Amino acid sequence: MKIARFSREGAIAFGILDEDEREWVVLAGDPMYAGFDTTGERVKVTDAPLLAPVLPRSKVIGIGRNYREHAEEMGADAPEAPLMFLKPNTAVIGPNDAIVLPPQSERVEHEGELVVVIGRIGKDIAEESALDYVFGYTVGNDVTARDLQRADGQWARGKGFDTFCPLGPVIETEFDAASATIETRVNGEQRQSGRISDLIHGIPHLIAYASSVWTLLPGDVIMTGTPAGVGPLVAGDRVEVTVSGIGTLSNPVRAKA
Ligand code: MN
């Protein structure tokens, strides 16, 4: 089931994609909290500008160097335990919102990633039951000011600018991580391509590990890491990240006005 959050007549609504993929079946509330009761209304997909499918309540958890070939291109070892960082929820934007290049950086890069959306409160979650805490999966771009990330020695600034966390287009609740692929394109040209099964630390381990540190809340998200092929974004680019079975997250890039 594909769930979208969209704007409609000046308000925010949630919908599930109908079988013919042409209409959203409008939900009575946020399905994460209010279930899947419908209002009986339908909205054409073409009439509903999509918003980020989830607004993380408390945190966006990022995972560094979680694909071996990406660790190699960064000139670093793949970490033995998940290398976690946080992005602020103010960085989140939705499909087609612009990634704004900050004047402080001369090197902003894309990182296409699979994103896990947490649906239940959890702490010290066992790996065996970790998937019970997943509401669904979406696509993300862990946009990074690489020069500032390196200069600071920690990542709060380099990965935390407003607009540096595009999420969308939808949340897929029935995602098969074992067979899924991920691809990032800039202006139509492939930059990154990988298989989700190549994650060094898999999804249950990431959930268990993160929850050993932080209480996970519904709406928190875990960006699972990026495959090899990260590269620069410049004003005027359009960056697209596709995860098979979920969809394509597309964002333009512009300079700060
Ligand atoms: Mn990343």
pLDDT digits (tens, 9 = 90+) for 24-81: 999 999 999 999 999 999 999 999 999 999 999 899 999 999 999 999 999 999 999 9
User: How large is the greatest C-alpha to C-alpha distance in the chain, in angstroms?
Assistant: 54
Distance from the CA of 62 to the center of ligand 1, in angstroms? 6
Position 9 pLDDT exceeds 90: no
Range 128-152 average pLDDT: 98
What percentage of the chain reaches a pLDDT higher than 90? 96
pTM: 0.97
The 8-class DSSP code of residue 216 comes to B
Q: Give residue 257's pLDDT band: very low, low, confident or very high (50, 70, 90).
A: confident
**Better-scored residue on pLDDT, 19 or 195:** 195
Position 235 pLDDT exceeds 90: yes
What is the tens place of the pLDDT at every residue in 203-216?
Answer: 999 999 999 999 99
Range 140-160 average pLDDT: 97
Tell me the DSSP string of 83-142. EEEEE-GGGEE-TTPPEEEPTT-S-EEE-EEEEEEE-S-BSS--GGGGGGGEEEEEEEE-
Distance from the CA of 224 to the center of ligand 1, in angstroms? 7
Supply the mean pLDDT for the chain: 97
Range 164-178 average pLDDT: 97
Q: Give residue 233's pLDDT band: very low, low, confident or very high (50, 70, 90).
A: very high
Burial grade of 61 (CB within 10 A; 0-12, 13-18, 19 or more) = buried
pLDDT number for residue 10: 87
State the Cα–Cα distance between residues 29 and 66, nearest whole angstrom.
Answer: 35
The 8-class DSSP code of residue 76 comes to S
Residue pointed to by tokens 């771009």: 141
- Triad 224, 227, 232: Cα angle to 5°: 110
Domain boundaries, the chain: 2-47, 60-255
Q: Return the percent helix, strand and coil in the chain, to nearest 5.
A: 15, 40, 40
Distance from the CA of 66 to the center of ligand 1, in angstroms? 8
Distance from the CA of 234 to the center of ligand 1, in angstroms? 18
User: Domain 60-255: which topology?
Assistant: Fumarylacetoacetate hydrolase; domain 2 (3.90.850)
Distance from the CA of 20 to the center of ligand 1, in angstroms? 34
Distance from the CA of 55 to the center of ligand 1, in angstroms? 18
pLDDT number for residue 36: 96
State the Cα–Cα distance between residues 127 and 112, nearest whole angstrom.
Answer: 25
Distance from the CA of 108 to the center of ligand 1, in angstroms? 13
Distance from the CA of 114 to the center of ligand 1, in angstroms? 10
Distance from the CA of 85 to the center of ligand 1, in angstroms? 9
State the Cα–Cα distance between residues 144 and 150, nearest whole angstrom.
Answer: 10
